[in-house]
Amino acid sequence: MKRSVAMAILVPFLAPAQSDAPAFEAADVHVSPKVTMPFLDVGFLPTGRYQMKNATMVDLIKTAWNIDGESVSGGPTWLDTDRFDVIAKTSSNSTEADRAAMLRALLADRFKLRVHNDQKELTVYAMTVNKRGVQFQESGTIPNTSCKPDFSQGPPQMIMVACPSTPNDAEAIKKIPAPTTEFEAATIKVNKSGGQMKRIQPKPGGRIEVENLKLADLITIAWNFDFDNDRVVGLPKWAEADAYDIIAKTAILPGEKPPAFDDLKVMLRSLLIERFNIKTHEEQQPVKVWTLTVAKRGAKLKEADPSTRSNCTPSMGQAGSGSAALPAITYTCQNTTITQLAEAMHRTAGGYVDHPVFDLTNLKGSYDFAITWTPRGALSSSKRAETGQPDTASDPSGGTTFFEAVEKQLGLHLEGGQRHPMMVLVIDHIAPLSADN
Asked whether the beta carbons of 399 and 156 are under 8 A apart, the reply is no
Span 388-397, mean pLDDT? 45
User: Residue 353: phi, psi to the nearest 5?
Assistant: -100, 100
* 160 pLDDT more than 50: no
Cα separation values, 375 from 41, 62, 69, 397, 417, Å: 26, 30, 26, 12, 22
Contact in structure between 387 and 269 (CB atoms under 8 Å): no
Domain ranges of the chain: 6-120+161-171, 185-276, 288-422
CA angle 36, 40, 46 (to 5 degrees): 125
Residues 6+ apart with CB under 8 A from 113: 4, 5, 6, 7, 17, 61, 107
Q: Is pTM, for the whole model, over 0.75?
A: no
Q: Give φ, ψ of 112 to 5 degrees.
A: 55, 40
Residue 202 banded pLDDT, cuts 50, 70, 90:
confident
CA–CA distance from 337 to each of 68, 296, 302, 304 (Å)? 25, 20, 11, 9
- CA–CA distance, 48 with 46 (Å, rounded to integer): 5
CB–CB of 66/9 below 8 Å? no
Give the pLDDT of residue 343.
Answer: 92
Residue 330 reports pLDDT greater than 50: yes
Enumerate helices (H) and strands (E) in the chain, giving the number of each. 9, 19
Grade residue 133 by pLDDT with cuts at 50, 70 and 90: confident
pLDDT digits (tens, 9 = 90+) for 331-389: 999 999 999 999 999 889 988 998 889 999 999 999 999 999 999 888 764 444 455 55
- Identify whether the C-beta of residue 263 lies closer than 8 Å to the C-beta of residue 374: no
Cα 431 from chain centroid (whole Å): 32
Tens-place pLDDT, residues 89-131:
999 999 999 999 999 999 999 999 988 888 777 666 778 888 7
Q: Which amino acid is at 318?
A: Q
